[in-house]
């Protein structure tokens, strides 16, 4: 019989560059007890908030019946709904079944000869490219804490002359953040680049001041014809299962794409979420759980930094990249955490651009964070 370790490692290798979900893992290894999912990067308080609305407005009222029985609105209706809230004309908003679909649409249709992707990264940005697109990697340096050296990056881009560049802000898997002023400098230095993709899937966890206010590039898009924004709702709103995302695209693209598909790519519950997303009462409550989660995450990260045998890289997202310096490998640590302690973390051995033993750990609720820290300390240093 295979051990739990063997079954887990086999599953992980079958999942390619993404991690198997908890449901998948438990389906294959039902004897495993998962206490904390620190692999997936979501705000658990936002999930609770959404659930409380869903229960009160859909389940308790029986409204859920209508949502499941009938067709949801078509994508352009949702774009119209989002327009005022997002502050962008509806003909530039591309509503998608998860942000991954917006990425796919851009990469398949508008990226041409060459794309520059900063590594380590979210793998889909290079995996989804067409065969005739060359992928060029720009390496974020471990010695530089994976932060982007802007002058060096600009020099690199100008020498390579790609048609597309990608900046994930904050970046996944390291949480590195490009400040708003720096991002503007990058954009203004590269008017010749056809597509500047800015992925703001984690922007709600980043902040620029002590009030924890965030600074999105979206209000500045009018000034730049070449900036494309990708936004996932999965992590910050804690609703990955609903598959909600959108892209903000240059004029003309959305019409092009939706006359050729993407008509009903939102399900009824996703539509319900987007209707909440633009509501004042929901937003006020969301801001409270957003800031609460950031505050707790900052404490979590500072506590992790005190653990021996690991190096915690600076992050302005809800997760941290951790290098294991005690001599154990990332696979050993991730497997032991899961099997012995029920703590699921992202083993980063498959991430290109990472040299060393790395795991990525997400902040969870306060109680879960304590379990994560204690388990990591014990596993790494045993």
Ligand X SMILES: *Cc1c(COP(=O)(O)O)cnc(C)c1O
Binding to ligand X (CB under 6 A) within 171-200 occurs at 172, 199
* Cα maximum dimension of the chain: 62
Minimum distance, C-beta of residue 109 to ligand X, in the bound complex (Å): 17
Distance (Å, whole) CA 329 – CA 272:
44
Alpha-helical regions (H) of the chain? 4-14, 22-28, 44-53, 64-69, 75-86, 99-109, 124-127, 150-160, 180-189, 253-258, 268-277, 280-304, 330-341, 366-380
- Of residues 160, 121, 125, the one with CA closest to residue 139: 121
Minimum distance, C-beta of residue 19 to ligand X, in the bound complex (Å): 11
Give yes or no for residue 169 binding ligand X (CB under 6 A): no
Cβ-based nearer residue to ligand X, 197 or 304: 197
Binding pattern to ligand X, positions 98-117, x when CB under 6 A?
xxx-----------------
Cβ-based nearer residue to ligand X, 290 or 346: 346
Cβ-based nearer residue to ligand X, 265 or 335: 265
Give yes or no for residue 201 binding ligand X (CB under 6 A): yes
- Of residues 132, 119, 202, the one with CA closest to residue 166: 119
Stretch that binds ligand X, among 56-64, 128-136, 232-240, 364-372 (CB under 6 A): 232-240
Minimum distance, C-beta of residue 100 to ligand X, in the bound complex (Å): 3
Binding pattern to ligand X, positions 234-273, x when CB under 6 A?
x-----x----x----------------------------
Count the Cβ atoms, other than its own, within 10 Å of residue 40.
17
DSSP tag of 61: T
Give yes or no for residue 119 binding ligand X (CB under 6 A): no
Cβ-based nearer residue to ligand X, 29 or 276: 276
- Of residues 2, 30, 24, the one with CA closest to residue 12: 24
- Please select the residue that binds ligand X; options are 50, 110, 122, 153, rule is CB under 6 A: 122
User: 3-class SS at 228?
Assistant: strand
DSSP tag of 95: E
Cβ-based nearer residue to ligand X, 258 or 318: 318
C-beta nearest to ligand X: residue: 98
- Please calculate the CA angle 273-366-292 and round it to the nearest 5 degrees: 50
Binding positions for ligand X, rule: CB under 6 A:
98-100, 122, 168, 172, 199, 201, 232, 234, 240, 245
């Amino acid at each position: 019989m295979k051990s739990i370790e063997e079954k887990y490692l086999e599953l992980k290798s079958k999942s390619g560059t993404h991690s198997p979900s908890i449901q998948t893992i438990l389906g294959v290894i039902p004897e495993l007890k998962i206490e904390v999912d620190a692999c997936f990067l979501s705000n658990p308080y936002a999930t609770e908030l959404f659930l409380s609305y869903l229960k009160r407005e859909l389940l308790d009222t029986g409204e859920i019946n209508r949502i499941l029985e009938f067709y949801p609105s078509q994508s352009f209706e949702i774009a119209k709904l989002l327009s005022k809230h997002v502050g962008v004309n509806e003909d530039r908003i591309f509503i998608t079944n998860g942000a991954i679909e917006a990425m796919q649409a851009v990469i398949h249709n508008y990226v041409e000869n060459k794309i520059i992707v900063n590594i380590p990264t979210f793998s889909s940005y290079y995996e989804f490219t067409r065969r005739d697109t060359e992928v060029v990697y720009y390496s974020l340096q471990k010695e530089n804490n994976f932060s982007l050296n802007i002058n060096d990056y600009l020099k690199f881009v100008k020498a390579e002359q790609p048609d597309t560049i990608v900046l994930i802000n904050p970046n996944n898997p390291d949480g590195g953040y490009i400040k708003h002023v720096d991002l503007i400098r990058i954009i203004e230095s590269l008017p010749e680049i056809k597509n500047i993709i800015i992925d703001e899937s984690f922007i709600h966890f980043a902040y620029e001041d002590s009030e924890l206010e965030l600074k999105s590039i979206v209000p500045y898009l009018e000034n730049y014809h070449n900036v494309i924004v990708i936004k996932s709702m999965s992590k910050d709103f804690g609703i990955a299962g609903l598959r909600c995302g959108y892209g903000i695209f240059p004029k003309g693209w959305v019409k092009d794409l939706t006359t050729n598909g993407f008509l009903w790519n939102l399900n009824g519950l996703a539509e319900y979420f987007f209707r909440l997303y633009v509501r004042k009462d929901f937003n006020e409550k969301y801001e409270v759980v957003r800031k609460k989660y950031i505050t707790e995450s900052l404490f979590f990260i500072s506590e992790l930094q005190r653990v021996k045998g690991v190096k915690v890289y600076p992050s302005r997202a809800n997760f941290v990249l951790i290098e294991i310096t005690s001599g154990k490998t990332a696979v050993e640590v991730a497997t032991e955490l899961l099997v012995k302690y029920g703590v699921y973390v992202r083993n980063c051995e498959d991430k290109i651009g990472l040299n060393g033993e790395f795991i990525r750990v997400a902040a969870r609720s306060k109680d879960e964070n304590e379990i994560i820290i204690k388990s990591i300390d014990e596993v790494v240093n045993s």
